[in-house]
A and B are shown apart, each in its own frame.
Chain A
Amino acid sequence: MARGAQLLTTSRKAAILAVALTVAACARNSPPLPPDLGHLPPEQRLLQGDAESPEAKLGCSELKEERERIRMAASQNEATIAGNRSHNQTVSYVGGALLPPLLLAARNDDDAKKNLDELQTKKDRVDRLLKARGC
């Protein structure tokens, strides 16, 4: 009886660890699409707030540099996640099959995922400004 209860507790712990891993190493969804402004002329395809944003103060060449900076920062964050993906897969294969506590070693990449979402928002804004100004 006691052995049965112990087994139940162990399997519960394993289930909790598995859930922790799934949450930690889960896929990041693509960011939402911007509003559809296609019906407007290009120079008017700006959103409320674009004109007051820090990027609005930049000239064409600075905006292009900013776009390049965003692209490089996004690549770095993607590389971080991709690097940890191999680690997480190894941890989940071994942890899932042999040693459940190992699942706790999974890396969640929360910061990189958050950065990527923010960078996409910024990239969308910079693109709108570039195209609205005909840069």
Chain B
Amino acid sequence: MAMSAIALLGGCADGWATTQVTPQVAAAGRQATPVDQIQVIEGDVTDRPYKSLGDVSATVNKVTLFNADPTREMVDKRLKVEAAKLGADAVIQVRYGTVGISALSWGSLDGKGRAIAYDKP
């Protein structure tokens, strides 16, 4: 029983995550964006005007001791999901922590960024 539970949890390759969103006024009433359309950008965007919708952060944790460590791609995926809910086009200024033990997991990795929507011409 215990072994099958471990095997089941071990199958969750993407780990489990916690997310936090601090929406700004501009995010109110916006329609959600398809997740696969969200860009993840490490710096700022200066070639087109945008408005900030809010700061998003995500922490991905490995499920069991035996899972692989979470990756930046997993964090990006969670950031995109949260940004999509705000109706964003991109997450900018993205930055990451480094994997290590946390209070809740043998392997945690966090990342954060700012959800933005480009101004329509």
Contacts and interface: CB of A to CB of B under 8 A. Distances in A.
Contact of B99 (A31, A34, A45, A85): A85
17 contacts: A25-B101, A27-B97, A27-B108, A29-B110, A30-B111, A31-B95, A36-B114, A38-B52, A45-B44, A45-B46, A82-B98, A88-B100, A88-B101, A89-B106, A93-B65, A113-B98, A124-B93
* Binding site secondary structure of chain B: strand
Nearest to A96: B65
A94 interface: no
B30 to A, nearest CB: 16
Given A38-B50, A38-B52, A29 B44 contact: no
Among A26, A30, A33, A89, the most chain B Cβ lie within 10 Å of the Cβ of: A30
A78 B96 CA distance: 11
Interface of A: 21-22, 25-31, 33-34, 36-39, 42, 45, 78, 81-82, 85, 88-89, 92-93, 113, 116, 120, 124, 127-128, 131
B44 A30 contact: no
A30 B69 contact: no
Nearest to A86: B69
Contacts of B18: none
Interface of B: 43-44, 46, 50-52, 55, 57, 65, 69, 93, 95-103, 106-114, 116
Contacts of A30: 57, 95-97, 110-112
A1 to B, nearest CB: 35
B43 A127 contact: yes
Given A36-B114, A39-B52, 11 more contacts: A22-B101, A26-B101, A27-B97, A27-B101, A28-B97, A28-B98, A30-B95, A30-B111, A30-B112, A38-B50, A45-B44
